[in-house]
Structure 1
Amino acid sequence: MIWLFLLGLFTYLFITQWVSNLTRTSVWLLWSVAMLPVFVMVVWTIVSRGQTMPTQYSLVLFAGCLVLYLYLIQRGRIERSTMDTAPPAPPEPISEIQPPNLASLRPLNQAEESSLQTCFPWSVFYLKHLEYHPQGVVCRGQLRTTPEAAYRTIRENVEAQFGDRFHVIFQEYYPGEPFFELVVNPAATIEGKNSPVLIRPGFAAALFLLTMFTTTWAGLQVVGRVPTIAALLENGFPYSIPVLLFFAARSFGQFITARKYKIAITLPYFVPIIPLPFFPLGTIGAFTQLKSPIPDRKALFDIGLVGAFMGLIISIPLLAWGLVQSSVVALPNQGGLFNFQALDPRFSILLAIFGKLAIGRELTPDAAIRLNPMAIAGWVGVMFTAFNLMPIGQLDGGRMIHAVFGRRMGARIGRISRFLLLGFAIVYPHLLLWAVLLLLLPALNEPTLNDVLEVDSFRDIVGLLALVILMILVLPAPKFLTTALGM
């Protein structure tokens, strides 16, 4: 029951962090559908007195719930898209008995509409028509200058006319058809201005201390030691301090980058979790939440890049130094990514190369690595960095792909990547958990304010380099490499 509770908690945090802001579908409905296969299998086991559900039934159950889960996310998007493009019905006359239906009112009256039309100079963006919805206005027309100059001019004109009432979004869903969208800024409302402050250092510090306790406990649990002073110094702190350093570095890197671009963002919040046999890490990481739109694709790229870069510059040296102090054991019949006492070095190209360089001849084809606590922290950092480099949704890699190729093409790459990883998981079962988690993530990311402005060639090259690094971290070592390394 404890495992079931923690799995449910992890799924809920996963959905609220990466999925909830991309769809109008209720978080609890998405959570219920995601957890339904687990609940059904538990009930089946109880009713059948310990017998597990047949494999064919399990596959049908998981596939059906996955299709329903993705449909619910897309349904939330369809409702929003339909509402964005379909003009509302004319508002009913105001009655002294019944208040008007505010959802059907236009966000601009006739005088404000005339003012809005003056915000679009014909030499910058020739405005053809407006489309209304309760949250804002879609302005369609023809671009007659560079995207950067057009966005700067239109935004300044709108701000001069309406202040901070709208977010000005410039995007191009179809090639060659850019359009502006004025979305009501919730921060400009009374409720938004009176919302709680983003920076809550006391709450962040409390979560950090609690996570330090759970990760120190995890460092002891991995080697099966009781919490003595010697055990804390040899196994507890050598794991918890480096792994917390890794998560703090990548999260604060994103925090500083977001503040550089004047994006409202929360402090990093660590997520403690009780170490368990199937997930002995003591934490699922630290996260920040962006509370205001990202200005352009360059800022989006930099936020994703800094998170991945900070993760690599911390985790790779930790892994390399820890492997030097690690030892060799017999290769088990079954292993996984969290089997730190007998980790198969062939799980990753990076791990195979680093392991051979650090350990040498002792790392034979029938040998595994017993990781030192610092190497465990480095390996955890490498796994989290690799997962976040996946070119999907709001992950670091998804943000970079969106910035380089555009929102629409980035979503296509994300969908292809999910099914490619699922195919790899059939051959390499240790990737199955990643494949399932990525299937739960929406591939389509939210647009930036100026989503038409492209990134420079340097960011293009860095983005492609990030994909190469991802393959080195994720793909198992091929046969020719293990043969050359004598593994």
Structure 2
Amino acid sequence: MPPAAPDRLPSPEAMRSVFRVYEVSEAEEGIHYYGDPLVDRERLVEAVWPEFRAAGYEVRLERRLGEYVLVATPQGTDDGVPWTNVILAVATIFSTLLVGTQWYYVEDLFSPAILQALPFTLAVMGVLGTHELGHYVLSRYYDVPASLPYFIPFPSIIGTMGAVIKVKGRIPNRRALFDIGVAGPLAGLVATVVVTVIGLSLPPVQVPEWVMAAESTVEVQFNYPLLLQAIAAVMGQPLSYADPRLVVNPVVIGGWVGMFITFLNLIPVGQLDGGHLLRAMVGPAQERIAPLVPLSLFGLAGGLYALTDAGQMVTVWVIWGFMAMLAAWIGSASPVVDTPLDRRRQLLGVATFALGLLCFTPVPIEITGL
């Protein structure tokens, strides 16, 4: 007679066609089913996963000391206040405010004048947060446990390194992998377009004389991608001015941030959004395509080094090349059920990658002395 399992979990008898269980034990990490697989690993997990998921558990097949064991672990819960998310969000608000004071030329950082930079903070936090909430909402829709966004404060020229969410469960199928992956870039792009339109509608900022006269002053030039240029052209608004004392409203920089982050996230490798989309669209063949991504980034860096004087961005693309190598080595998410996508989603994936290219510029930033 097969050993008994806890009432809340599938019984050994329920999986007898794919896994013959001879022992069930409870450990700190979860419930262990020891037995003999009757099918290959992929078919086994695909067969037993739905019942475990319905019971609130994730399941994986391992080999321990020569024995096969199905390890069932409880799915994470989001009970209580997510203090880590709150603290990081507050820290990122503060870091983007501090950076924003440079774009609004605020002299006294320890006064209410710092709030002049609030539009920049709202723009950056808005596009990043909307992107991650797109992933979060679709994760919830497919009943895949996921965290709220983690914002990352960082003393860069935009005050942050972006935001992420943590997916805590297996992805049920390619459709869910695609929908969760594509929701972030598309939601983020909608927010980015809104922010860009608002920014272009606001008056430019005038550079104070004390900034123009300072010997240590440097000029940070944002080179705008095709999508941002197109929005400006449709609105009939300039992105530069004949008067060097005038610069675009910093809210436009928030739109630039949204487009740059969208492009980076759509790089088709590993755990990036683009890697998830490509894995959902082409299946395991994604592993053959992934090595081409770091080569492309190294090629971009080499081209810039040979043909331009954009030394700073050469380093950036080299770093991203190594990051893409690591991402390719780690690999993308593997859905439990690996059936092909429908044609509608395939076309949406192609369109999303095309939008990502419209957010690309080879030299996003140039920093020079005045």
Match of 2:48 among 134, 138, 155: 155
State the alpha-carbon separation in 1 of the partners of residues 50 and 194 from structure 2.
50
Contact 1:422 / 1:432 at 8 angstroms: preserved in 2? no
Q: Which residue of 1 aligns with 2:322?
A: 439
Match of 2:102 among 214, 221, 227: 221
Contact 1:350 / 1:472 at 8 angstroms: preserved in 2? yes
C-alpha distance after superposition, 1:218-269 (max 9, x if no partner): 10033442237674343x1010112111222122221121111111111212
State the alpha-carbon separation in 2 of the partners of residues 466 and 323 from structure 1.
24
State the alpha-carbon separation in 2 of the partners of residues 431 and 463 from structure 1.
29
Q: Which residue of 2 aligns with 1:262?
A: 143
Contact 2:297 / 2:320 at 8 angstroms: preserved in 1? no
Contact 2:97 / 2:118 at 8 angstroms: preserved in 1? yes
- Counting aligned pairs with the same residue, the percent is 25
C-alpha distance after superposition, 1:264-293 (max 9, x if no partner): 1112122222x3xxx222111221111111
State the alpha-carbon separation in 1 of the partners of residues 198 and 271 from structure 2.
31
Contact 1:155 / 1:168 at 8 angstroms: preserved in 2? no
> Are 1:238 and 2:125 an aligned pair?
no
> Residue 416 of structure 1 aligns to which amino acid in structure 2?
L
Q: CA RMSD in A?
A: 4.2
- The residue correspondences of 1:94-109 to structure 2 (distance < 5 A) are none
> Residue 425 of structure 1 aligns to which amino acid in structure 2?
A
Q: Which residue of 1 aligns with 2:17?
A: 118
Change (3 A) 1:115 1:227: closer
Q: Which residue of 2 aligns with 1:373?
A: 250
Q: Which has the higher contact order (CA 8 A, sep 6+)?
A: 2
- The residue correspondences of 1:83-102 to structure 2 (distance < 5 A) are none
Please report the TM-score for the alignment, with normalisation by the length of structure 2: 0.70
Q: 197-206 vs 320-329, which deviates more?
A: 320-329
> Residue 197 of structure 2 aligns to which amino acid in structure 1?
A
Shift of 1:217: 0.9
C-alpha distance after superposition, 1:5-57 (max 9, x if no partner): xxxxxxxxxxxxxxxxxxxxxxxxxxxxxxxxxxxxxxxxxxxxxxxxxxxxx
> Are 1:353 and 2:230 an aligned pair?
yes
State the alpha-carbon separation in 1 of the partners of residues 35 and 327 from structure 2.
24
Contact 1:348 / 1:474 at 8 angstroms: preserved in 2? yes
C-alpha distance after superposition, 1:191-232 (max 9, x if no partner): xx8x88566423322222221111111100334422376743
C-alpha distance after superposition, 1:58-81 (max 9, x if no partner): xxxxxxxxxxxxxxxxxxxxxxxx
Change (3 A) 1:158 1:281: closer
The structure whose residues are more often helix, as a share, is: 1
State the alpha-carbon separation in 2 of the partners of residues 253 and 391 from structure 1.
19
- The residue correspondences of 1:121-160 to structure 2 (distance < 5 A) are 140=39, 154-155=47-48
Shift of 1:442: 1.9
Shift of 1:116: 5.0
Match of 1:418 among 294, 311, 315: 294
Unmatched runs of 5 consecutive residues or more in structure 2: 1-10, 20-32, 63-67, 207-216, 305-309, 364-370
State the alpha-carbon separation in 2 of the partners of residues 471 and 324 from structure 1.
25
Question: How many pairs does the alignment contain?
Answer: 312
Please report the TM-score for the alignment, with normalisation by the length of structure 1: 0.54
Match of 1:449 among 310, 321, 336: 336
> Are 1:463 and 2:349 an aligned pair?
yes
